[in-house]
Amino acid sequence: MEIRNIAIIAHVDHGKTTLVDKMIEAGNFTNERDRPTGELIMDNNDLERERGITIVSKNVSVTYKGTKINIIDTPGHADFGGEVERVLNMADGVCLLVDAFEGPMPQTRFVLGKALSMGLRPLVVINKVDKQNCTPDEVQEKVFDLMFELDATEEQLDFPTIYGSAKNGWMSEDWKKPQDNITPLLDRILAYFPPKTIEDGNTQMLITSLDFSSYVGRIAIGRLTRGNVKENQPVLLAKRDGTLEKHRIKEIFVFEGIERVKVSGVQAGDLCAVTGLEGFEIGDSICDVENPDPLPTIQLDEPTMSMLFTINDSPFFGKEGKFVTSRHIQERLFKELEKNLALRVIETDKADRWMVYGRGVLHLSVLIETMRREGYEIQVGQPQVIVKEIDGAKCEPVEELTIDLPEELSGTAVEAVTIRKGEMTNMEPKGGRMIIQFMIPSRGIIGLRSYLLTQTAGEAIMTHRYLEYQPMKGEIPGRQNGSLISLEQGSAIPYSLNNLQERGRFFIHPNEDIYEGQVIGENSRAGDLCVNVTKTKKLTNMRASGSDDKVRIAPPKVFSLEECLEYIQDDEYVEVTPKSFRIRKVLLKETDRKRSGKA
């Protein structure tokens, strides 16, 4: 059977996973029962479903008109850009999706740039043409300009464009002529991407992706570029560092629909997953035993951000989680390294704390959230960017930032970014909105999203991606307001919360259990303020008059995990348990905090 290996790439939310769903649905199934239906079938882990984003790339396939199309769905969020770059090594071509309203965005540029430089031919899909006020033709021109700017070859510039609405289940050569299915896209894929000529010869496969199962260990995934592999075949593993190791392939799987199917052997050209190779890494090659001929290895992403992880040592330790000891957490973190490639974990001189390094707040928060759901309790410190010394100068990661907001609010965005040492690089009006581009230190981005959302009543859309290391930009002011800190352990009395309302905004509900040193709200002024909200006032006459019923307390501000991480200061932790996020001072006692402040 002929094979096409196609990666679907785009900026976040431009509709990759929705399109892949429809492609699978449109395929031929030997058994009709196997045809999957539903929305975002591919975003199959809990976190992906809840957030509606793809976190890890996935391999699936469809059989269409007798050809097997392997499809690689990739994540669009910039924190996972390294993953996209890696899996492009499995592709013979890419489908670049672009939102017909938004047009090319920063991550479009990044993933397209990578694909072009790897010599892959692009097929452009202008998606979401059902959106009001969208401009498919202009967007198509912008994509062309972008390719030109990115030094596409003549052949690459000669790309076909398909228009449609993945959500409504159609693709067409002409956006003004909607269809009722997506076969025009599948037909184009078959016609445009030539079938790979299959190379005979010695086994050669670059490991570009991996999976992990507690039964079989690491599973190597990649495209078999030459020869074939069979069950129980002895092979040489050519490591990144040039050494050769003897191994034996155990089992082989290929991708069929959304399943992995065990097979006895695979021919060159197909994608497969193999077990039995112990201790391999991404970028290693599987080679013939007699004539090893490894492929060039792959560059891996370096982490740009770190966070301190500790065991939960708050007074509420162990109340809500199952796994709370340092042994549990250590094991879990090291297990994560089996498949989370951009992650690093470094043990510190204390057994109950680790430095965890990743690609950004989202990358790290996905890990924290996953652990929480599995029953872990942990505490994490303020995210810190990784500073490097380059040519004798202290350097920090700098990112490209795009903010899209109503025109009249653009001043707010420019001001907020400038304070955080960002520089505006471009500004473009678009249908009553303004698209503003900046370069800004990663440090400055922490906390910016929630600030802008409040300032713009939820209107600002912000995306950013890592650009490069640049010399340190100087001090960036932290949060203006201090914290409201509980002085006592107990239950938060509504009456006391009510009395303190003008002091700030609370993060806790009335009658919630709190402890000494917990951050229970934001001070309306600078500086921390200790408050006691656990005492019941002995004002019997007031209570008797039924004043508690009249207490009107503003609803608390409830943070998501990412908001907590972006909110805390360097003397605070987020306490994460299966049931709660709490913000606390690292030092719970006021006297200890005062002493350390003087020291």
Ligand X SMILES: Nc1nc2c(ncn2[C@@H]2O[C@H](COP(=O)(O)OP(=O)(O)OP(=O)(O)O)[C@@H](O)[C@H]2O)c(=O)[nH]1
Under the rule (CB under 6 A), what is the footprint of ligand X? 10, 12-18, 40, 52-54, 75-77, 127-128, 130-131, 165-167
Q: Which does 557 bind (CB under 5 to 8 A by kind): Mg ion, ligand X, none?
A: none
Query: Do residues 442 and 304 make contact, with C-beta atoms less than 8 angstroms apart?
Result: yes
Residue 483 binds to Mg ion (criterion: CB under 5 A): no
Q: Which does 130 bind (CB under 5 to 8 A by kind): Mg ion, ligand X, none?
A: ligand X
No. of H helices and E strands in the chain? 17, 35
Determine the Cα–Cα distance for residues 120 and 112; give it in Å rounded to an integer: 9
5 or 17, CB closer to ligand X? 17
* Per-residue DSSP letter, 288: -
- Candidate ranges 51-59, 127-135, 217-225, 267-275; the one touching Mg ion (CB under 5 A): 51-59
Q: What are residue 522's DSSP bridge partners? A: 483, 505
Residue 18 binds to Mg ion (criterion: CB under 5 A): no
Question: Nearest distance from residue 20's CB to ligand X, in Å?
Answer: 8
Give the angle 440-441-443 at the CA atoms, nearest 5°.
Answer: 125
Question: Nearest distance from residue 218's CB to ligand X, in Å?
Answer: 25
41 or 198, CB closer to ligand X? 41
User: What is the separation of C-alpha 229 from the centre of its chain, rounded to a whole number of angstroms?
Assistant: 33
Give the angle 366-369-375 at the CA atoms, nearest 5°.
Answer: 145
**Residues of 52-65 as b/e, b for ≥16 C-beta within 10 angstroms?**
ebbbbbbbbbbebe
Comparing every residue's Cβ against ligand X, the nearest one is: 76
Residue 16 binds to Mg ion (criterion: CB under 5 A): yes
* Per-residue DSSP letter, 245: E
40 or 424, CB closer to ligand X? 40
Question: Nearest distance from residue 253's CB to ligand X, in Å?
Answer: 24
Answer for which of 5, 54, 59, 140 binds Mg ion (CB under 5 A) is: 54
Question: Nearest distance from residue 18's CB to ligand X, in Å?
Answer: 3
Question: Nearest distance from residue 39's CB to Mg ion, in Å?
Answer: 11
Q: Which does 52 bind (CB under 5 to 8 A by kind): Mg ion, ligand X, none?
A: ligand X
Q: Which does 13 bind (CB under 5 to 8 A by kind): ligand X, Mg ion, none?
A: ligand X
Question: Nearest distance from residue 171's CB to ligand X, in Å?
Answer: 10
Query: Do residues 467 and 508 make contact, with C-beta atoms less than 8 angstroms apart?
Result: no
The helix (H) or strand (E) run that includes residue 305 is: strand 305-311
329 or 401, CB closer to ligand X? 401
Question: Nearest distance from residue 185's CB to ligand X, in Å?
Answer: 12
Q: Which does 359 bind (CB under 5 to 8 A by kind): ligand X, Mg ion, none?
A: none
Q: Which does 128 bind (CB under 5 to 8 A by kind): ligand X, Mg ion, none?
A: ligand X
Question: Nearest distance from residue 16's CB to Mg ion, in Å?
Answer: 5
- Candidate ranges 52-60, 272-280, 310-318, 505-513; the one touching Mg ion (CB under 5 A): 52-60
Residue 17 binds to Mg ion (criterion: CB under 5 A): yes
- Candidate ranges 48-56, 165-173, 387-395, 467-475; the one touching Mg ion (CB under 5 A): 48-56
Determine the Cα–Cα distance for residues 412 and 434; give it in Å rounded to an integer: 12
Q: Which does 86 bind (CB under 5 to 8 A by kind): Mg ion, ligand X, none?
A: none
168 or 202, CB closer to ligand X? 168
Question: Nearest distance from residue 541's CB to ligand X, in Å?
Answer: 56
57 or 285, CB closer to Mg ion? 57
Query: Do residues 101 and 135 make contact, with C-beta atoms less than 8 angstroms apart?
Result: yes
84 or 416, CB closer to ligand X? 84
Determine the Cα–Cα distance for residues 201 and 203; give it in Å rounded to an integer: 7
Helix (H, G, I), strand (E, B) or coil at 136: helix
Determine the Cα–Cα distance for residues 96 and 123; give it in Å rounded to an integer: 6
Determine the Cα–Cα distance for residues 555 and 507; give it in Å rounded to an integer: 9
- Candidate ranges 49-57, 155-163, 377-385, 519-527; the one touching Mg ion (CB under 5 A): 49-57
Residue 57 binds to Mg ion (criterion: CB under 5 A): no
82 or 397, CB closer to Mg ion? 82
18 or 285, CB closer to ligand X? 18
Interaction residues for Mg ion, span 290-329 (CB under 5 A): none
Determine the Cα–Cα distance for residues 502 and 423; give it in Å rounded to an integer: 36
Cα distances from 225 to residues 202, 206, 264, in angstroms, run 10, 8, 18
Q: Which does 10 bind (CB under 5 to 8 A by kind): ligand X, Mg ion, none?
A: ligand X
Question: Nearest distance from residue 431's CB to ligand X, in Å?
Answer: 16
* Per-residue DSSP letter, 525: S
Query: Do residues 243 and 369 make contact, with C-beta atoms less than 8 angstroms apart?
Result: no
Question: Nearest distance from residue 45's CB to ligand X, in Å?
Answer: 12
Question: Nearest distance from residue 76's CB to ligand X, in Å?
Answer: 2
Question: Nearest distance from residue 126's CB to ligand X, in Å?
Answer: 10
Q: What are residue 61's DSSP bridge partners? A: 70, 257
Residue 405, CA atoms < 13 Å, CB-side half-sphere: 25
Q: Which does 40 bind (CB under 5 to 8 A by kind): ligand X, Mg ion, none?
A: ligand X
* Per-residue DSSP letter, 199: B
Q: Give the end-to-end CA distance of the chain in Å, rounded to a whole number.
A: 73
Question: Nearest distance from residue 187's CB to ligand X, in Å?
Answer: 19
Determine the Cα–Cα distance for residues 414 and 419; give it in Å rounded to an integer: 9
3-state secondary structure 317-360: CCCCCCECCHHHHHHHHHHHCCCCCCCEEEECCCCCEEEEEECC
> And the tokens for 472?
């340190």
87 or 531, CB closer to Mg ion? 87
165 or 225, CB closer to ligand X? 165
Contacts of 240-246 with CB under 8 Å at 24 or more apart are 240/281, 240/283, 240/284, 240/297, 244/287, 244/292, 245/279, 246/289
Q: Which does 124 bind (CB under 5 to 8 A by kind): ligand X, Mg ion, none?
A: none
83 or 301, CB closer to Mg ion? 83
The helix (H) or strand (E) run that includes residue 595 is: helix 590-598
82 or 294, CB closer to ligand X? 82
Determine the Cα–Cα distance for residues 2 and 498; give it in Å rounded to an integer: 71
Q: Which residues of this chain interact with Mg ion, rule CB under 5 A?
A: 16-17, 54
